[in-house]
Amino acid sequence: MRFLADAPRFLFFTGKGGVGKTSIACASAVRLAEAGASVLLVSTDPASNVGQVFGVSIGNTVTRIEAVPGLSALEIDPEQAAEQYRERIVGPVRGLLPAAEVASIEEQLSGACTTEIASFNEFTDLLTDAAWTAAYDHILFDTAPTGHTIRLLQLPGSWTDFLTEGTGDASCLGPLSGLEKQRAVYADAVAALADPDRTRLVLVARAQASTLREAARTQAELAAIGMERQHLVVNGILPAGPHANADTHTDTDADTDAGSGTPADGAADPLFTAIRAREQLALAEMPEGLRAAPTDYVELKSANMVGLAALRSLLEPEAVPAPAAVVDTAVPGAPLSALIDEIEAGGHGLVMLMGKGGVGKTTLAAVIAVSLAERGLPVHLTTTDPAAHLDDTLVGALPNLTVSRIDPAVEIANYTERVMRTKGAHLDAQGQAMLREDLRSPCTEEIAVFQAFSRVSREAKNTFVVMDTAPTGHTLLLLDATGSYHREVTRQLGDGIRLTTPMMRLQDPEQTKVILVTLAETTPVLEAAELQADLERAGITPWAWIVNNSIAAAAPTSPLLLARARNELPELEHVHAKRAPRLAVVPLLADEPVGIPALLALAAGTQPAPASVR
């Protein structure tokens, strides 16, 4: 594997949830340690399962992995770190400020920015304290800090004064208010990250257009702040044949299988063949910036990455497993059509699909919208997805369907200009730089986009409004706590006047149905569960879950896909039994559902025959 050749002291693994960061990081740590190096593996992933992967209890102390001499591991609990960090900031003012003001500060410090900064605070010593880390040749991090966090740490001036003066918009500078004494240490840590002789960033992706685009964005963002030595690992590719080499297999043309000399695992399975062709097309069309990065390709394995034997096999080619006995792949939950029937019964309302990127929210929003419109109901489908994607998905129009698109870039620009014109008007150049950086945060995008969503959501009193992508519970609470919506409007109108704010509409299950979308894999399920808790803290109870792209629900015949289907069943049972008040499971399709007939077929569970593979 090229990303491990001449490995520097620090390796950071980053990528979207569910792409296999933890597995790649663990397998890399094992390979380096078994080559004779002393290795420390550190996880800062909120959904970390490093201990589960190795079959040992790790936690927030350095733990030797006895089965691998030279390897130790450490799990930094981001939530625990964030809680301690919040208390360090809020504790001194508790009892001095009104309870409502303290609660507002705590909510400002409850978001993803606080968690990431607190985690970075925890592992700063690993980057800067040579005495503490001298025993290790390599330190591997499962999950890297984002470029936004690093830029915040590079800002000049006093974060504390900036927050105290009330010039920051409720976003990310609040979490930095307790770090003034850490500035010199953080500067050293950022310098270590930007030094290519000490640090290498490994971008982990799947052979899917969405995750490759995300990797390209991360690549550009981190390169802009000096982290330029980057490698790409494309994980989980369906193999060309039983003897394909994971280290050297780089073909991006499905037709090259014919020259491999061996039949592909999916030769008798149209699902396998079509999906592999789709993957190869995504690789052929990957963003230009990624093409220049040294790239390794890791083939999909039949087993879950748990235990040393599985980890040792991950970076090596695997023989296609022998055909297994018939596998019971019956999945729990209801078909998607059952959820749509229940939505229709309400006559009107707001339907919001939420979830991490890459799980299929846009497609499923389109499925629900066209199904309701086909039944003669007026529907407004709105999305923040690029126009071409939605147009390519729908490929047509329906009499009762209205489609609109919210451009996040435009909304952010308008919101930023408004804040800079008001709160930034009386700041000096340094203060304006800090405020502008604050406004580049993910929180700002959610707030700006939510303003546009709020305008559309009012239509749900008389029609169906289906929204693709929605703000998190943390953002909604910030809006509420800062008076941007609910409290501000209530104050302005005074007592005795009845009103319905966007927040109240979202909290009312009669008006709004929130649907969480995820995949039947450990990390995406954990992330969806965290999102559910986040929403419930804001008083919003998800109405249903959709598990998308389920291999088990697709009834494959390929031995490799059958093995993967077995691995999905525990996740599906967990979601059904403990997470979802309603659950629909959507099968992995041989062809992308493109066009209104295909979307309607997906909703009905009657898929057309796969199209011919290019």
Query: Catalytic pick from 23, 43, 211, 218?
Result: 23
- Does 45 qualify as catalytic in the annotation? yes
Instruction: Compute the average pLDDT of residues 501-528.
Output: 85
Query: Catalytic pick from 14, 16, 17, 20?
Result: 20
- Does 91 qualify as catalytic in the annotation? no
pLDDT in tens, 303-332: 888 888 889 999 988 775 554 544 555 788
- Does 473 qualify as catalytic in the annotation? no
Query: Catalytic pick from 523, 534, 550, 591?
Result: 523
pLDDT in tens, 152-196: 556 544 444 544 454 444 445 455 555 555 667 777 887 888 888
Contacts by residues 452-458 (CB-CB < 8 Å, ≥ 24 positions apart): 452/406, 452/411, 453/382, 453/406, 453/502, 454/485, 454/502, 456/380, 456/382, 456/404, 456/406, 457/350, 457/502, 457/505
- Does 210 qualify as catalytic in the annotation? no
What pLDDT shows up at residue 16? 77
DSSP structure class, residue 77? -
pLDDT higher for 216 or 80? 216
- Does 171 qualify as catalytic in the annotation? no
SS3 content of the chain, % helix, strand, coil (to 5): 50, 15, 35
Confidence of residue 263 (pLDDT cuts 50, 70, 90): very low
pLDDT higher for 614 or 473? 473
Query: Catalytic pick from 14, 15, 16, 22?
Result: 22
Using the predicted structure, report yes or no on whether residue 247 has a pLDDT greater than 60: no
- Over the chain, what is the mean pLDDT? 79
pTM over 0.85: no
Confidence of residue 458 (pLDDT cuts 50, 70, 90): confident
pLDDT higher for 288 or 546? 546
Using the predicted structure, report yes or no on whether residue 488 has a pLDDT greater than 80: no
Cα 265 to chain centroid, rounded: 30
Instruction: Compute the average pLDDT of residues 365-393.
Output: 85
DSSP structure class, residue 181? G
Instruction: Compute the average pLDDT of residues 197-213.
Output: 89
Contacts by residues 443-446 (CB-CB < 8 Å, ≥ 24 positions apart): 443/111, 443/113, 443/170, 443/171, 443/172, 443/474, 443/475, 443/478, 444/169, 444/171, 444/412, 444/415, 444/416, 445/408, 445/411, 445/412, 446/471, 446/472, 446/475
Query: Catalytic pick from 17, 18, 333, 424?
Result: 18
Q: List Cα–Cα distances, 421 to 167, 417, 427, in angstroms.
A: 12, 6, 10
What pLDDT shows up at residue 243? 33
Instruction: Compute the average pLDDT of residues 120-146.
Output: 80
Compute the distance between CA of residue 321 and CA of residue 563 in angstroms, rounded to an integer. 9
Q: CA end-to-end span of the chain, whole Å? A: 30
Confidence of residue 416 (pLDDT cuts 50, 70, 90): confident
**Domains of the chain with CATH codes:** 2-234 (3.40.50.300), 336-406+463-604 (3.40.50.300)
Q: Find out whether 315 and 266 touch, Cβ atoms under 8 Å.
A: no
Query: Catalytic pick from 45, 257, 385, 438?
Result: 45
Confidence of residue 377 (pLDDT cuts 50, 70, 90): very high
- Does 51 qualify as catalytic in the annotation? no
